[in-house]
Amino acid sequence: MRSSPCASASVRASPSSWSACDGPHGLKRATSQARRAIRKRVALRFGAWHPGARPFLQRSSPMAAFHVIPFPADVVRAARSQRVDPWGGAARFLPAADRSAPCRHCMSGTRPGGDLLLLKYSPFAADSPSPYAERGPIFLCGHDCAPYATPSRLPEIVTTRQVNIRAYDAADLMLYAHSHIADGQDAGDVVARLLEHAGVRRVHIRTALHGCFLCEVQRAP
């Protein structure tokens, strides 16, 4: 005699979910509870993070210290003085822009009405053979600005938005199992946890919607 789907779902779910099978949506609720229980166990065992697992970011042991990599000063100078990107392409000057944008040099949001520079950039080495070493658009302040000065903390351009967090190994290959979408306020915990993995060499933080590069983070020296 075959057992009912409801009964099999009850075995996987917690006892409190058994009574849910009495209603027309009982199986769906029981299965959902079972899946949540599995996700919790995975988060606790492997340090996985997802939007529903924020309580599991807390750990009793200290997490890895990290270091935000400064944006290259030579790229900034060339963009401002010569209007070129690292490959000799044009850096577009946008005077009195009517929008704010995340400057990758000072790592703060620009003020509306300020000048901007828009150019291509890649955080990977120029000779990286990785297929993930793509180039993409970034903004810089159109005027002089100070480089980001607190590398032990994530900058404003990260903490004030939702972000896409990607981990890479020593060959610049993306580690798909460690990719996350996170609220910027939680990004520091996510990055520190990722850097605890021996196979993770660097972490890139990008905008969640468009995937534009914001900054690179490595283990603290």
- In the prediction, which pLDDT does 50 show? 40
- Alpha carbons 139 and 120: distance in angstroms, whole number: 9
Mean pLDDT of 159-171: 98
pTM of the predicted structure, to 2 decimals:
0.73
Residues 83-95 as b or e (16 or more Cβ within 10 Å = b):
eebbeeeebeeee
- Residue 180: is its pLDDT beyond 50? yes
Tokens of 31: 């299965």
Q: What does the domain layout of the chain look like in residue ranges? A: 5-46, 72-144, 150-219
Is 147 in contact with 105 (CB distance < 8 Å)? yes
- Residue 1: is its pLDDT beyond 80? no
- In the prediction, which pLDDT does 55 show? 35
- In the prediction, which pLDDT does 221 show? 87
- Residue 30: is its pLDDT beyond 80? no
Each residue of 49-76: pLDDT tens digit? 444 333 334 443 456 799 999 999 999 9
